[in-house]
Structure 1
């Protein structure tokens, strides 16, 4: 089972998203955190679940449904080291990582 490693860049995106939502709706922020955690845990059992990026197929995006839109985690699966590296995290309405 691959281990999921959240990089500093992804942790920053997660924290930014949490703070933004918590300022408006603390209970929604808690539910969003639970939804995000559930999706990231999926990577331990199904590391290739995300959609590959067209121009960089070694990278994948994992959508996290929440509310009207949701979030996206950018990650790379390294089968040789049996690890999934979550590289970035953003709200779906944000542009780029």
Structure 2
């Protein structure tokens, strides 16, 4: 997969997140994670993977993974280096966000 495809998918997911979460964005609160899983089928673990993809894309992965141990860092790196897995992950995430027109109300 080219970085362009990954970039386009990331931008599409970000647009859907803006629609769903509004101007305040997704804060990662327990209640919001429950709502996200209930209405879009997205788990907290999948959101953490999304954050890794986003950090990698933004060039901040090294500083965003300082709290991980070496095995966890290796897992994140292996995931991010497998273009086909990341593409499927992003396509699935995008499809789930598009599966409902619900928006989160605070």
Normalised by the size of structure 1, how large is the TM-score? 0.36
Structure with greater proportional helix content: 2
Structure with greater proportional strand content: 1
Normalised by the size of structure 2, how large is the TM-score? 0.34
